[in-house]
Amino acid sequence: MKPEYLQIEVEAIGQRYADLRIADPRAEALMECSMSTYGQMTPVIVGSFENDVYELIDGFKRLRAAIKLNWRRLDARLFAGGIRAAKAAMINLNIRSHTISELEKGLVIQSLHRQERLTQVQIAALLNRHKSWVSRRLSLIERLSDEVKEHLKLGLINMTVGRELALLPRGNQPKALKTVIQYNFTSEETARLVRLLMKEPGWNHEK
């Protein structure tokens, strides 16, 4: 079956799965500049899982750029699979181009595990990966506190900072995050802060 291509009203494209990707303000600014200059080079990918509502699977930067540019429509390709396959596609469509981070892979895997109730073995089969590959990325995202994950999703801290904070116990991460935000720490400064805190006994007992 050939993929179905269509034009969709921008306001009709849902972003239910946007929280599985991490905002990158710099990359989004570049995308907006590119689309303003050259137009839309590749279609976004959408799924239609219920009530004929189109949910975005791939192309979140393109959609946000289109909204800022006041575009009415976007070229889209309709994804033929179900929700589980669509979430797997969020990884598989970006893995070769290295446009999805380890943390984002973890978010998608966590969603497949918790919302779609798949086992790690089932997720590994769906992604055509070894169970240990799935387990490592699930462990990474589940080590993060909710506060850190929210700041990552909103692009308020970058992925390297998030990875450093993940080394701390979950209960201690909000305190460290507050310091990182307050003093606008770089990734290197965050790494030094984490190493310092891990040496302090009081920072190693909160789960």
- Has residue 205 got a pLDDT over 60? no
- Has residue 204 got a pLDDT over 70? no
- Has residue 122 got a pLDDT over 80? yes
DSSP bridge pairs for 14: 55
Q: What is the pTM of this model?
A: 0.85
* Percent above pLDDT 70 for the chain: 96
Task: Name the pLDDT band for 207 (thresholds 50, 70, 90).
Answer: low
pLDDT at res. 203: 56
Task: Name the pLDDT band for 108 (thresholds 50, 70, 90).
Answer: very high
Using CA atoms, how far apart are residues 62 and 18, in angstroms rounded to an integer? 12
Dihedral-angle region of residue 128 (phi above 0 means left; psi in -120 to 50 means alpha; beta otherwise): left
Using CA atoms, how far apart are residues 77 and 174, in angstroms rounded to an integer? 40
Using CA atoms, how far apart are residues 84 and 178, in angstroms rounded to an integer? 35
Integer angstrom CA distances of residue 129 from 121, 133, 141, 171, 187: 9, 6, 18, 31, 30
Taking residues 191-201, what's their average pLDDT?
88
